[in-house]
Amino acid sequence: MQWDTTMKLADVAIICATLLGPIFAVQVQKFFEVRRERADRKAAILRTVLTSAPLSYQAVQALNGIRIEFEDDPKVLEAWRNYIDSRTQGHQLSSQAESLYVDLLYQMSKSAGYRIDKHTLTSSYNPMLHNKIERDQEIIREGAVKLFTGEGALPLDVRNLPADPTAYAESEVLRQMLIAWLEKQGVERPKAYI
């Protein structure tokens, strides 16, 4: 019996497929995992920006992540730059800044694969109580900063002190005794008490 040691092209293809197939499959799976993770991060940023107050810590953090996670989408980056430029020019949300914010959200939603129109992006549920709580927290925060930096003080309004006539009389007797003792010691009385 003689062994055929010649290799045919089909044999080489089978060997290559056997060796390289699993490597190729793992690489394809990794490629799709990376794409899925990036899509998930984009969706998470979009969700955070949509569900947070525009100037909240979470929203600002998410907005700062846009340049990293959406770096492959020039329309999002342009909308982000326009919005950031409008925000750095003033602290209040102007109608222009609000319009740029909606445009940014719209571009992000398109990039993340969502079909959300601009009208939907402008409407959200925000109870009046949340606005009041936010305003109150801002007032408290500003007051605390003024208090701790020495720019402000706590207003005190004493309305009713407990008055005990006996305590006042005893206090006056003690004061007179102290003055008499100090005079015996040769201590001069301050001019304010003369």
Per-residue pLDDT of the chain (194 residues; tens, 9 = 90+): 565 666 677 777 788 888 878 888 888 888 888 888 888 889 999 999 888 877 788 988 999 999 889 998 999 999 999 988 887 776 455 677 888 888 999 999 998 888 888 888 777 666 677 778 888 988 999 999 998 898 988 888 777 777 788 888 898 999 999 988 988 988 877 666 55
pLDDT of 139 reads 92
pTM for the whole structure: 0.55
Residue 176 covered by a domain: no
SS3 assignment for the chain: CCCCCCCCHHHHHHHHHHHHHHHHHHHHHHHHHHHHHHHHHHHHHHHHHHHCCCCCHHHHHHHHHHHHHCCCCHHHHHHHHHHHHHHHCCCCCCHHHHHHHHHHHHHHHHHCCCCCCHHHHHCCCCCHHHHHHHHHHHHHHHHHHHHHHCCCCCCCCCCCCCCCHHHHHHHHHHHHHHHHHHHHCCCCCCHHHC
Residue 184 covered by a domain: no
pLDDT of 193 reads 56
Give the range of the structural domain holding residue 117, as residue numbers without chain letter.
Answer: 9-124
Residue 129 covered by a domain: no
Residue 150 covered by a domain: no
pLDDT of 74 reads 93
Residue 13 covered by a domain: yes
Residue 3 covered by a domain: no
pLDDT of 5 reads 60
Residue 168 covered by a domain: no
pLDDT of 85 reads 85
Residue 187 covered by a domain: no
pLDDT of 78 reads 95
pLDDT of 168 reads 85
For the chain, what is the domain count? 1
